Amino acid sequence: MNQPEHDDAEIDEGRDALVNNVIQLQSQLRGLIARVDSAKNEHHSLLTENQMLQKYINNSLTSTAVFGATGGAVNPAMAQSKSGPEPPR
């Protein structure tokens, strides 16, 4: 009759080990989810900042082109790409 008690103890130990393993994995998963959420928030913030900077740059280029304040310093390749390709001669 000692054998079933021994088997029950082994089963309980195995179950406890599995429960502890599951708890540890859940904790690791929570940490990974937090890192993913943080990366998403940082990505959104950087994307918004880049869009704002792009608008600022475009507005600056537009205003300097309108007022002729560049004094010929505009990159001809950029000016050409904005106006389209030059027609063949």
pLDDT (tens digit per residue) in 37-52:
999 999 999 999 999 9
- Burial track 50-87 (b if 16+ CB lie within 10 A, e otherwise): eeeeeeeeeeeeeeeeeeeeeeeeeeeeeeeeeeeeee
pLDDT band at 6 (very low <50, low <70, confident <90, very high): confident
CB 59 within 8 A of CB 68: no
pLDDT band at 9 (very low <50, low <70, confident <90, very high): confident
How far apart, in whole angstroms, are the C-alpha atoms of residue 23 and residue 49?
A: 39
How far apart, in whole angstroms, are the C-alpha atoms of residue 62 and residue 71?
A: 14
For the four alpha carbons of 15, 16, 22 and 25, in that order, the dihedral sign comes to: negative
**Confidence (pLDDT) at 1:** 47
Average confidence (pLDDT) over 16-32: 98
Higher pLDDT, 8 or 40: 40
